[in-house]
A and B are shown apart, each in its own frame.
Chain A
Amino acid sequence: MERHYYDEMHAAPDQVRGHYRALAQWLAETPPERVLEKRREADLLFHRVGITFAVYGDAQGAERLIPFDTIPRIIPLAEWELLVKGLTQRVTALNRFLHDIYHGQEILKAGVIPAEQVLTHDAYQVAMLGLDLPNETYSQIAGIDLVRNQDGRWHVLEDNLRTPSGVSYMIENRRMMMRLFPELFASQHVLPVEHYPTMLLETLRAAAPRSRHEPTVVLLTPGPYNSAYFEHAFLAEEMGIELVEGQDLLVKDGFVYMRTTGGPQRVDVIYRRMDDAYLDPLAFRVESLLGVPGLLSAYRAGNVGLANAIGTGVADDKSTYPFVPDMIRFYLGEAPLIENVPTWQCKRPDDLAHVLHNLAELVVKEVQGSGGYGMLIGPAATQAQLEAFRARLQANPSNYIAQPTLALSTCPTFVERGIAPRHVDLRPFVLSGKEVKIVPGGLTRVALKQGSLVVNSSQGGGTKDTWVVD
């Protein structure tokens, strides 16, 4: 089936879009050998960094390098500014929603979202009820996954409000591009992204208990065997804060301290990169050795800030996703600036019937799934796969949602035989402290396999530098 995709670079086969003109000219003028040589250099440099990745995971099997593509993905500033408005609107509404469901529950009372959708949700944390957070912010760091459809319109594919990762690639990719192709940056104005760690630190400080003037912030990692450990170490170093493990922290008299050579030192904000369930063995999973006993009580006493807050998962999973546009209308009285992808909730009988009838055209996802696992891509599935999935779907409908197979936009990408279009998405990182801030850019993921629509790195995806150009 021949499908039409939005080409990010070309308006027509021989017509390059305005914001790609400088790049196209450079590609045309630069001898292919030089580009090839630079690509090899990039491979080599990343391999060196990659050795870092691999060694960190060496006890649990080598971690793969995420391939880097040297053709940037470009977004004109005017378009970016619209995205910023839409993202700010969306994350603001999501934070309002989280505050509401742990306080007055106005949105449930108004019947905008069914109460059972929220209150019986696995990620809903009763411990958060009535707890007042600084700036009423729950998800200080959000990664919102965006895609463009056939006509180039942006849609939100997924909200990530727990511990979104990937921002280290955004920064490393930019450093790599500036190192390899400085002339590209001289010929046009690419907005910088390198100040992200500074912005992040400011955001984290805003999550400190109110009385603390120069709050001490730490990054809590599950440890070197976590797949995102490289990013944890990278961000801690860039921000100049301690990278701690659970064993480095202790709770005494309701306050959190880290064990240092100079004795216990008070900790005011924990940028935690582990899931709720592992944070405090006294409150959540007893068997967790990664967490800090007593952390929840210190948090509830208002003596330490957590970023992100506990219990944000109720707002970002795929069963809540269809309600986000309603949240925006309910809390902000505005129309959503960036649309959702149309979504059928299989727990609704009508929706289920539609999904079962059109299974071969749809993408079906597990409500709690992530990383591209456990999903069905109808058009790419065999008859046997379709039937197997149909049985699973009928057995447990409320575990699934379905969406039309998206015609993700394409961006030119280096492949074995030169340059070819490959599908991309975009994850901008939205920081909510005293105000909402977004660094101009994000992580562009690219499906390197021809025709593939799955951009997840666990499924053979790569990354690109993302340019917002003035």
Chain B
Amino acid sequence: MLSRAAARIYWMSRQIERAENLARILGVTSNLLLFGKPEVQEQNLLAPLSITGAAEAFFARHRALTLPALITFLALDEDNHSSIYYCIRMARENAHAMRGQITSEMWESLNATWIEMRAMRHEQVTGAGATRFFDWVKERSHLFRGITYGTIVRGEAFNFSRLGTFLERADNTARILDVKYHVLLPSVEDVGGALDYYQWAALLRSVSSFSTYRTLYHDQIYPIRVAELLLLERRMPRSIAACLEQVREAIGKIEGQNDQAAKRLAWELYARLTYADVKEIFQGGLHEYLTACLTDMDELGHRIGRAYLGVV
């Protein structure tokens, strides 16, 4: 497959997955503000900016950090490259250029998403309709992924789409866990201490795993278990371990040349998460562990670019 084509399909999938995760993060932030203690409100608002690394860009454009300003910036801002609007636009643009390589259903779905996104009015997204908007983004992403799985031939285009989706999701889950954990547990002494139940429930809900936690642990919410679930639980499809298993499978199917470095790192990350011990991770520090994971996933992205996508 042409490198240019593979790159567009890979990025198309990453962008739609990123839009979904942005919606999840914003959704949980809106929710937290309803329940959170006053002293953590600002941190809650700051969290999405830390996760996306866009705090500086935000404050260049907005004076005060309020929920409407945050949603405007991360959902609708045309110039913000980490906004839902921008991700959907780019995903659709990539799909457009690759119409011959993806199925017409995939194209039509993304095109319809873009047309609706473009017509979305400001007050539909920032006000009382915000939750409905976030659900819409998640649904469109689910729909697109479902169409992809249901229609595309199992060839290189599919492999690159899968690779993009799951590398992006692994990255996003790691960021969500890192930032939220930090907000919820300002100091190490608090581990095992009194918890704000709603805050933790919101974190779990942001990755669709609140009921999974209940099902798997039949227990009240402990931070270490939340971390274990999001990091290592392979049955939980948004956990980093589960995503890296998909990444490893997808990259394994790609026939490349000079791609040993990329494949090796994919396997290393997979092994690291599969044969990990959550207590060890906590001893070394969760934040340090997640930082190392994010750095390596970023490096994996670069290696994929060099091995397959024509990045020099």
Contacts and interface: CB of A to CB of B under 8 A. Distances in A.
A354 B3 CA distance: 59
B100 A259 contact: no
B100 A263 contact: no
B32 to A, nearest CB: 41
Contact of A261 (B96, B97, B100, B254): B254
Interface string A22-54: 000000000000000000000000000000100
Given A242-B2, A248-B3, A263 B257 contact: yes
A262 B160 CA distance: 13
Interface string A248-273: 10000000001111110000000000
Contacts of A260: 1-3
Given A242-B2, A244-B2, A248-B3, A262 B97 contact: no
Contacts, number: 41
A420 interface: no
A262 B4 contact: no
A243 B98 CA distance: 10
A242 B310 CA distance: 16
A243 B96 CA distance: 14
A260 to B, nearest CB: 6
A245 B2 CA distance: 10
A55 to B, nearest CB: 7
A262 B257 contact: yes
B310 A259 contact: yes
A245 B100 contact: no
Given A55-B96, A224-B97, A261 B160 contact: yes
A52 B111 CA distance: 12
B160 to A, nearest CB: 7
Nearest to B3: A259
Nearest to B257: A263
B309 interface: yes
B100 A262 contact: no
Nearest to A262: B255
Interface string B85-121: 0000000000011011000000000000000000000
Contacts of B308: 261
A233 interface: yes
B258 interface: yes
A267 to B, nearest CB: 11
Nearest to B310: A259
Contact of B258 (A243, A258, A263): A263
Chain A interface size range: 10 to 19
A258 B100 contact: no
Contacts of B160: 261
Tell me if A's interface is mostly helix, strand, loop or mixed.
Answer: mixed
Chain B interface size range: 10 to 19
B71 to A, nearest CB: 29
A244 B99 CA distance: 14
A247 B96 CA distance: 18
A162 to B, nearest CB: 25
Contacts of A151: none
B244 interface: no
Nearest to A264: B257
A245 B257 contact: no
A132 B158 CA distance: 43
Contacts of A263: 256-258
Interface string A88-130: 0000000000000000000000000000000000000000000
A236 interface: yes
A434 B3 CA distance: 33
A237 interface: yes
B243 interface: no
Contacts of B3: 248, 259-261
Interface in B210-251: none
A248 B7 CA distance: 12
B4 A259 contact: yes
A262 B96 contact: no
B6 interface: yes
A446 B156 CA distance: 44
Contact of B4 (A52, A233, A245): A245
A261 B6 contact: yes
Contacts of A224: 97
Contacts of B1: 260-262
A259 B308 CA distance: 9
B257 A248 contact: no
A259 B258 CA distance: 13
A207 to B, nearest CB: 21
A9 to B, nearest CB: 38
A156 to B, nearest CB: 35
A262 B2 contact: no
Contacts of A236: 100
A256 to B, nearest CB: 14
A291 to B, nearest CB: 16
Interface string A420-450: 0000000000000000000000000000000
A244 B258 CA distance: 22
B255 A248 contact: no
B295 to A, nearest CB: 25
Nearest to B111: A55
* Residue of B2, B254, B256, B308 most packed against chain A (CB within 10 A): B2
Given A236-B100, A243-B100, A258 B2 contact: yes
Nearest to A55: B96
Contacts of A52: 99
B289 to A, nearest CB: 32
A248 B258 contact: no
A245 B3 CA distance: 11
A266 to B, nearest CB: 13
Nearest to B254: A261
A217 to B, nearest CB: 14
A233 B255 CA distance: 25
B156 A261 contact: yes
B252 to A, nearest CB: 14
Nearest to B156: A261
Nearest to A249: B2
A247 B254 CA distance: 22
A259 B97 contact: no
B109 to A, nearest CB: 15
A183 B258 CA distance: 57
Interface in B1-55: 1-4, 6
B236 to A, nearest CB: 30
Interface in B281-312: 308-310
A245 B98 CA distance: 13
Given A233-B100, A248-B4, 15 more contacts: A52-B99, A224-B97, A236-B100, A243-B100, A248-B2, A248-B3, A259-B3, A259-B4, A259-B310, A261-B2, A261-B160, A261-B255, A261-B256, A262-B255, A263-B257
What 3 pairs across the A-B complex have the smallest Cβ distances?
Answer: A263-B257, A261-B308, A259-B3
5 contacts: A237-B100, A248-B3, A261-B6, A261-B160, A263-B257
Interface of A: 52, 55, 224, 233, 236-237, 242-245, 247-248, 258-263
